[in-house]
Structure 1
Amino acid sequence: MTPAARLATATDLLAEVMDTPRPADAVTSAFFRARRYIGAKDRGEIASLVYGVMRHWARLHWWLERVNHMPDPRALVIADCILAGGRTADAVAGLFNGAKFAPAPLSDRERKLIRALDTRTLNHPDQPEAVQAEVPEWAEASMRATFGDRFLAEASGMLGEAPLDLRVNPVKGTREDAIKALADAGIKATPTDLSPVGLRLAGRAPVMALDAYKSGMIEIQDEGSQLVAFMADAQPGMQVVDFCAGAGGKTLAIAAMMENKGRVVATDVLEGRLTRAKERFRRAGLHNIETRAIKTERDPWVKRHKGKFDRVVVDAPCSGTGTWRRNPDSRWRPLGPGLVELLPLQASILDSAARLVRPGGRVVYATCSVLREENEGQVEAFLASHPDFALVPVPSAWPAAWGKPPVGTDMLRLTPLRHDTDGFFAAVLERRADAPVAEAGADEGEVVVPEGGPATAQPPA
């Protein structure tokens, strides 16, 4: 495809993303499935153009408002070409020429736009900090309360692209085995700094087409997500629940730590996710996992199994603010519940899941959020109302066999700026060994887990 044809296709894709109430990655996948004639290289270029617009969303809108132009898909692509892409006004006009497969010629209003933006750059000293750092209004106050005077630096650390990390499955091979297998496929991988079984790729690669992936030796998983799974310190022979298992990434890591011994129960309210996860479990050669669909966090299955498990991992539904590098559209697309709905839901899930853990056992509460009220705030509230639990500091919770703990704090908090991982939080809560297991009673205040997943935000059309 010509550069002009890619711009035209990117504009069409951006319009679909803006008009479709689904995550951008799902819309993008469907868009390309319907256009199989577009080659892999062109798909990558087109997706990069669209994701670039989403990464620059607030700043592009700031500029378009400044020059009094509506932020429609064409205007956003045009502005991004100049402000982020460094193209001149004349170069942009040459691409929007109406030739075959090229975008339609610029209107008089669009010609005025490119002249107003010519030689400008994406950043401007008059932009508010939230605009500079691409922080949406719904998250700004919480992020400022969380980071204080580090707000701009931490938020700016989420502007780039996330790296591509892999987790080596110790049931199928060592990290050295995986590095060699990837090298044989022409892909360079280096050990991650914090995860003892993590690899980071130098660039993008078709990982799922590789034999190392198909055989289950490697899985795609952010280094931060790996660390959260390891916080469970799940040992061979234990009984473990992954309470909000989703697609099963942490389930896989936990089951592998247990060397295929013991029992891992993956539960979720979305049965389809568990069904899809089963193929991942089979590919990894892990046979100590079973799945259990539940209707709500207070499903009768929870009451029947109270006090039965050594470890319970609660990767709670959250705002997803820690994944903004990976999902830039989630800043702007409200596809699920907001913070007001999420906070009581998280508290209810943690309260109910904690019933599953035996005296002396542990609960790991985790989110992919950087906001304090979803993280430390929830843990503090839980401990205040559950005197039979105590916080286990990260150095004490970290598996001794896995080397130095990633942080020396009481709770695990990872951010893109400081750790170059997705933003993750985890806290380990241990039940007193002499704590009684309460008898089953009526469950009050049930909160149904919504199917929308993490709260995300939608760009205005």
Structure 2
Amino acid sequence: MTPSARIAATVALVAEVAAAPRRPADATANSFFRDRRYIGSGDRRAVAERGWGVLRQRLRLDWHLARLGLAPTPRLLVMAYLLLAEGWTVDGVLQAFPGGRFNAGPPDPGEMAAIQALAGRPLADPAMSDGPRLNLPDWALPGYRARFGDALPEAAAAMDQPAPLDLRANLLRTTREAAMESLAAEGISAEVMAYSPWGLRIPDRRPILASRTFTEGLVEIQDEGSQLIALLTGAMPGMRVADYCAGAAGKTLAVAAMMRNRGRITACDVSATRLEGAVKRLRRAGVDNAERHLLEPGDRWAKRRAGQFDRVLVDAPCTGAGTWRRNPDARLRTVQRDLDELITKQSAILDTAAGLVRPGGRLVYATCSVLPEEDSRQVDAFLSRHPAFEAVALRDAWAEIAPAQGATVTPPCEGPWLELAPHSHGTDGFFAAVLQRKA
């Protein structure tokens, strides 16, 4: 593709994402490129990266366009991004919109006036309010401030950067060292992670799904923070474990490896599609001690299995406010009403999942959020409702679990909970609390 054809494809991708505002952008992008198989891998990567850049900076781009009294059309968003984020000149933008076959049409008079007004301006304008200046939605600002305090600008800036590609070596099939050698043999350089004893990081986001190392189940894609949540379960061979909000079973796979395929782990979810998607992953990873259960309205599964599990993991549905560097569109799709509804849902899930834990067993509550409303405050409320449970401080849980798994002796965080963030740990933003049912 020519450079201008790439720009035209970026405009088309931004338009399709905008047309489905409640659908995850990666799903829209997958459909977009599947319908355009003629776009080669290099062009696809360039179009996707620029499209994701527009999504990542959308709050700021909207502010600039609103200041000019303009609606954020896909064309204007891409033009503004080229000028404000990539530093293009007016002439450069005009050359990128030349018209003709496979190219985007030239700017109309309104677009031309916008291009001239935006040229040379800073992306993060000093006149911006805190939301667009920090690139955070207004509804999330109070929670971000409560979590990060004086470190908020640093935390927000890190959330603004693209995420690396994190992998977990599947110890059911290999070792971390052997997985790294296998990747290297395919020309993929990986680094050992700072905290996870199973983790490998590929800084430059190389394509991995077609690699032999991945297809043979030697590695799985999983952020380091997510790996640490699985680690905190302390699951051991012979245990009975429930992954109560399993989704596509990413943490189920990690926990099964900790259990060395001995014992039983049940992956539960309300989505049949997600659970069906887990089948292929479980098979590729060589997991044979897992079963799946679909949670449906009126389901009595939890009541029938009350008090039967040594470990219950609740990776609760949440705003995903800790993953916005990886899923920049989520900060646009999520609103205050979603947060309010999720807080209620998280509370109900915790109450149900708590009944599965045997005396002396543990419940691990986790989110991929950094908002206290979904994290520490949710745990405090749970403990006030359930006096049979007590919190296990992170340092105590880590000291008990880490040596057996080959993890670092010192836990990643100093506080009572696992609280991770891109600027402080290089991971996505995660929260986890270990709660023990009294014997």
Normalising to structure 1: TM-score of the pair? Answer: 0.91
Q: Which runs of 4+ in 1 moved over 3 A?
A: 334-337
Alignment of 1:436-447 (within 5 A): none
Determine if the alignment matches structure 1 residue 359 to structure 2 residue 359: yes
Match of 1:274 in 2: 275
- Determine the C-alpha separation between the residues in 1 that align with 2:144 and 2:51: 26
Deviation per CA, 1:381-412, whole angstroms, max 9, x where unpaired?
A: 11111111110111221213233232242110
User: Counterparts of 2:25 and 2:159 in 1: how far apart (Å)?
Assistant: 17
**2:426 aligned with 1:420:** yes
Q: Using the alignment, how far apart are the partners of 1:269 and 1:348 within structure 2?
A: 14
Distance 1:200 1:148 in 2: 29
Distance in 2, matches of 1:313 and 1:160, equals 29
Q: Provide, for residues 87-109 of structure 1, a one-character-per-residue CA deviation record: whole Å limited to 9, x for no partner.
A: 10011112211132111011111
Give the conservation status (yes or no) of the 8 Å contact 2:139–2:336.
no
Question: Partner amino acid for 2:404?
Answer: A
Q: Give the secondary structure class of the aligned counterpart of 1:426.
A: strand
User: Post-superposition shift, 1:335?
Assistant: 8.9
Query: After the TM superposition, which residues 261-410 of structure 1 pair with which residues of structure 2 at under 5 Å, given as runs?
Result: 261-296=262-297, 299-334=299-334, 338-398=338-398, 399=401, 400-402=403-405, 403=407, 404=409, 405-410=411-416
- CA separation in 1, counterparts of 2:209 and 2:121? 40
Give the conservation status (yes or no) of the 8 Å contact 1:96–1:106.
Answer: yes
1:93 equivalent to 2:94? Answer yes
1:430 aligns with 2:436: yes
* AA in 2 matched with 1:119: G
Counterparts of 2:45 and 2:282, CA distance in 1: 29
Offset, 1:336: 11
Paired residues in the alignment total 432
In the aligned structure 1, how far is the partner of 2:80 from the partner of 2:415?
44
Q: Check the 8 A contact 2:182/2:213 in 1, yes or no.
A: yes
Aligned to 1:313, the other structure's residue is in SS state strand
State the match for 1:439 in structure 2. Answer: none
Identity across the alignment (%):
50
What does the per-residue CA deviation read over 1:180-199, in whole Å, with 9 as the maximum and x for residues that have no partner?
10000001001000101100
Query: Structure 1 residues 294, 337: closer, same or farther in 2, change over 3 A?
Result: farther
Describe the SS at the equivalent of 2:18.
Answer: helix
Q: Is residue 226 of structure 1 aligned with residue 224 of structure 2?
A: no
SS of aligned partner of 2:172: coil
Is the counterpart of residue 138 in structure 1 residue 144 in structure 2? Answer: no
Structure 1 residue matching 2:209: 3-state secondary structure: helix
Deviation at 1:320, TM superposition (A): 0.6
2:242 touches 2:267 (CA, 8 Å); kept in 1?
Answer: yes
Instruction: Work out whether 1:198 is the aligned partner of 2:208.
Output: no
**Residue 334 (structure 1) shift:** 3.9
Q: Which residue of 1 aligns with 2:153?
A: 152
CA contact (8 A) 1:129 1:152 kept: no
**Does the CA contact (< 8 Å) of 2:314 and 2:366 recur in 1?**
yes
Conserved? CA contact 1:13–1:31, under 8 Å: yes
Distance 2:397 2:253 in 1: 19
Deviation digits for residues 204-227 of structure 1, max 9, x if unmatched?
222111111111110000000000
CA distance in 1, matches of 2:224, 2:337: 27
Match of 1:22 in 2: 23
Q: In structure 1, what residue type is equivalent to 2:125?
A: H
User: What aligned pairs does 1:44-55 form with structure 2 within 5 A after superposition?
Assistant: 44-55=45-56
Measured after TM superposition, the shift of residue 144 of structure 1 is: 2.1
Partner of 2:211: 210
CA contact (8 A) 1:223 1:421 kept: yes
Uncovered stretches (5+) of structure 2, i.e. residues with no partner: none
1:241-292 residue CA offsets vs partner (Å, 9 max, x unmatched): 0000001000000000001100000000111111110111111111110001
Is residue 7–residue 103 contact of structure 2 (8 Å, CA) maintained in 1?
yes
Contact 1:86–1:121 (8 Å) recurs in 2: no
State the match for 1:448 in structure 2.
Answer: none
Superposition RMSD on alpha carbons, in Å?
1.4
Q: Secondary structure at the match of 2:332?
A: coil
Mapping for residues 246-261 of structure 1, pairs under 5 Å: 246-261=247-262
The letter of the residue matching 1:107 is D
Query: Take 2:106 and 2:47, find their aligned partners in 1: how far apart are those partners?
Result: 20
1:59 aligns with 2:57: no
Deviation at 1:71, TM superposition (A): 1.2
TM-score norm. by structure 2 comes to: 0.96
C-alpha contact 1:192 1:198 (8 A) present in aligned 2? yes
* 1:13-50 C-alpha deviation (Å, 9 max, x unpaired): 11110011311000000011011001011111111111
**Any idea what the Cα deviations from partners look like across 1:142-165, whole Å, max 9, x if unmatched?**
222332333222222200001100
Alignment of 1:71-82 (within 5 A): 71-82=72-83
Q: Which amino acid aligns with 1:90?
A: D
User: Contact (CA 8 Å) 1:243, 1:312: kept in 2 or not?
Assistant: yes
Q: SS at the partner of 1:207?
A: coil
In the TM superposition, what whole-angstrom CA distance separates every residue of 1:342-389 from its partner, at most 9, and x where no partner exists? 111101100110100100000000000100010101111111111111
Tell me how far 1:337 sits from its aligned partner: 6.3
Q: Which runs of 5+ in 1 are unaligned?
A: 434-461
Tell me, what secondary structure is at the counterpart of 1:187? coil
CA apart distance, 1:138: 2.1
Deviation at 1:233, TM superposition (A): 0.3
CA distance 1:66–1:336, change in 2 (3 Å): closer
Looking at structure 2, the residues matched to 337 and 131 of structure 1 have their Cα atoms a distance apart, in angstroms, of 20
Partner Cα separation in structure 2 for residue 118 and residue 96 of structure 1: 16
